[in-house]
Amino acid sequence: MLIEIDTLGDEPLSISGTVPRKDLDFQHEDAELIESVTFSATVALMEERTVRFSGNCRAHLDFQCCRCLEHFQENRRLDFDLVYVPHPTTDEKSREIELRYEEMDLGFYDGIVFDTNLAITEQLLLSVPMKSLCREDCRGLCPQCGKNRNREECDCRPIAVNPLREKLLSLKESLEHKPKD
């Protein structure tokens, strides 16, 4: 949904609805958006064309477990309270702009039209974990035969530990138990 900033008044604009997944530019190698996203939010114009976008959205995502490679699905409810400011202008397009520390939690928009779909997509992408797990105790794949150890046991022997690693672990353990002076 595109909102022209000049149409916003003193009172926050309440919006809600459903955004079809095809209208969101959600592209992530470890997650896929399964269906439309529902949202409820307010858009408020603050000083100097600053926009506050707050509310929540609900999405249904498909992930691939990083240990066992099985796909699993999760419903996500994301709450957000975001502040967007117009892009800083520069005389030279190639000149870099240095952000101050207090500006690090700001988003940017063109100063004319605010795109709620872009903000929702951004929040969905930020919610994807670095390593997706189907469950906390996922046992993963056997490194020797490749069987999913969550579904079946295998007869493979454990891989021998590198002797150098073993010595380092024993040194670490002895240092941890050494009395402090």
For 57-94, how does the pLDDT look when each residue is reduced to its tens digit (9 = 90+)? 999 999 999 999 999 999 999 999 999 998 876 444 55
Percent pLDDT > 90 in the chain is 61
Boundaries of domain holding 77:
2-127
Cα→Cα distances 180→45, 168, 173, 175, Å: 59, 20, 14, 10
* Interstrand relation of 71-86 and 107-109 (parallel, antiparallel or unpaired): parallel
pLDDT value at position 100? Answer: 67
Which has more confidence, 33 or 106?
A: 33
82 belongs to a structural domain: yes
Mean of the per-residue pLDDT values of the chain? 88
Q: Helix, strand or coil for residue 148?
A: strand
Q: How many domains does the chain have?
A: 1
pLDDT score for 90: 46
The answer to whether residue 114 sits within a structural domain is yes
For 47, the token pair is 């000083």
Tell me, yes or no, whether 41 lies in a domain: yes
Assigned domain for 148 exists = no
Average pLDDT (147-168) is 84
Please count the other Cβ atoms lying within 10 Å of the Cβ belonging to residue 65.
20
What digits encode the pLDDT tens for the residues 27-54? 999 899 999 999 999 999 998 889 999 9
Contact 43, 116 (CB under 8 A): yes
Task: Report how far residue 53's alpha carbon sits from residue 56's, in angstroms, rounded to the nearest whole number.
Answer: 10
Is position 170 within any domain? no
Contacts for 108 with CB less than 8 Å, ≥ 6 apart: 84, 85, 86, 87, 88
Asked whether residue 138 is assigned to any structural domain, the reply reads: no
Phi-psi region of 111 (alpha: psi -120 to 50; beta: other; left: phi over 0): left
Range from 4-13, 40-49, 98-107, 120-129 carrying the lowest mean pLDDT: 98-107
Whether 165 is covered by a domain: the verdict is no
- At 116 the three-state DSSP class reads helix
